[in-house]
Amino acid sequence: MLKNLHAIIFTNQAEYDLGPLTEIRSMSSVPYGGRYRMIDFMLSNCTNAGIIDVGLVLEENYQSLLDHVESGKDWDLTRKRGGLRLLPPFSQKAGSGNPRGRMEALANLGSYVDDIRQEYVLLADGDLAANIDLAAVFEAHLASGADVTPVCTHNYSGKPSCTTYYVPLEDGTLDVLRRPDKAVGLECLNIYIMSKEFLSRSVKDCAAHNQYSLSRHVLIPNKDKLKIVPYVFDNYAARLTSIPAYLERSMDLLKPEVMADLFTPERPIYSKDRTDASTYYAPGSAVKNAVIADGCIIEGTVENSIIFRNVKVGKGAVVKNSILMKDCTVGENADLNYVIGDKGVTFSANSRLAGHQNYPLPIAKNQKV
């Protein structure tokens, strides 16, 4: 039990656009990996590290996310004391728009940060698919005596124009680069551990000076005064920075070693629980190289694809290089290639749809094609 670490997860900090997939939901609520929403990974990382108090910072477009997390029960975060807390911007001034950065988002929560009962706080984003041992990160933070421990990776997956980089220099100091032209050094995964006292003070300082950004206004100006010790995490981590990246990151899951890394049984990834039956493969089915969730009925051909729960693929249908989210139906003899079907899309019999590897075709939720 990590009773001394509190987690705050930002659910809408990403500046990425996934077209129709993010029109109706925040990045944290984007479906990924056959049965998950992006937020599941960070919530599970918290649970698996024994963190019991988790605040979820909500901004616009959060209905889909609320439907998904409900009380936090599926992540074992429903507690008499502590547990999951949903944090809409309850202290935000009317008409001031979405917060410009993490510090402003926290300022919008009034006394929330001051009232945290733990000595340390973990800040993270809800749009990172990675299985990270946060207990180990916390141990490293305590052992190093750092003021701030950012979790960073050598494996770049962010957009440099939206990301912060930590570059260890030859003299042993660390340079912090916000939004450089190209990725350099260690890419930050937007996970930080710091003391509550430091965070609380920084939030107030920023608010007093009309500042809003953790990296731009807190870390970079003070990089020589603060002890910043990056924690390097080089296992699999996915960020969905665009529709082609969404396809690419999804196809990564066809590699068993990526599945084994992301879903290691030692640290399970929890999600909203639904009882679905097993998936049925009919006598005429032909499936190769696919990740398929429960509750599907597969009568056709599926190759190089990610299939979410309760999807039906009819006789003679061919689904290749595609992602079909929950409750999609593919009619008989339909043919899909490089298609991303959001929840509940119906592809009628004999329909033919094709995108391209660099330009997959997203179909909005509940559309009939």
**Quick one: which of 107, 152, 292, 339 contacts another protein (CB under 8 A)?**
292
If binding is defined by CB under 8 A, does position 293 make contact with another protein? yes
Q: What track of x and - describes contact with another protein for positions 300 through 339 (by CB under 8 A)?
A: --x---xxx-------------------------------
Q: Which residue has the tokens 């990045």?
A: 27
Q: Which of residues 237-266 bind another protein (CB under 8 A)?
A: 254, 256, 259, 262-263, 265
**Quick one: which of 195, 213, 285, 351 contacts another protein (CB under 8 A)?**
285
Of the candidate spans 53-61, 97-105, 110-118, 276-284, the one that interacts with another protein by CB under 8 A turns out to be 276-284
Q: Which of 179, 199, 189, 184 is nearest to 119 (CA)?
A: 199
If binding is defined by CB under 8 A, does position 235 make contact with another protein? no
152, β-bridge pairs: 188, 232
If binding is defined by CB under 8 A, does position 349 make contact with another protein? no
If binding is defined by CB under 8 A, does position 50 make contact with another protein? no
Cα separation values, 205 from 66, 106, 211, Å = 31, 12, 8
CB of 9 to another protein, least distance (A): 20
If binding is defined by CB under 8 A, does position 142 make contact with another protein? no
**Quick one: which of 35, 68, 141, 217 contacts another protein (CB under 8 A)?**
35
6, β-bridge pairs: 121
- Using the 8-state DSSP alphabet, how is residue 355 labeled? -
Q: Which is nearer to another protein, 222 or 285 (CB)?
A: 285
If binding is defined by CB under 8 A, does position 280 make contact with another protein? yes
* Helix 39-48 and helix 134-144, axial crossing angle in degrees, nearest 10: 60
| CA atoms of 41 and 33, how far apart (whole Å) | 11
336, β-bridge pairs: 319, 353
Of the candidate spans 103-111, 112-120, 178-186, 267-275, the one that interacts with another protein by CB under 8 A turns out to be 267-275
- Let me know how long the chain is: 369
CB of 140 to another protein, least distance (A): 27
What 3-state class would DSSP assign to 238? strand
| CA atoms of 337 and 70, how far apart (whole Å) | 35
If binding is defined by CB under 8 A, does position 232 make contact with another protein? no
Q: Which of 122, 99, 112 is nearest to 8 (CA)?
A: 122
Q: Which is nearer to another protein, 73 or 204 (CB)?
A: 73
| CA atoms of 255 and 261, how far apart (whole Å) | 10
CB of 294 to another protein, least distance (A): 5
| CA atoms of 250 and 246, how far apart (whole Å) | 6
| CA atoms of 132 and 269, how far apart (whole Å) | 11
Q: Which is nearer to another protein, 280 or 359 (CB)?
A: 280
Point out which residues bind another protein (CB under 8 A): 33-35, 254, 256, 259, 262-263, 265, 268-270, 273, 275-283, 285-295, 297-298, 302, 306-308
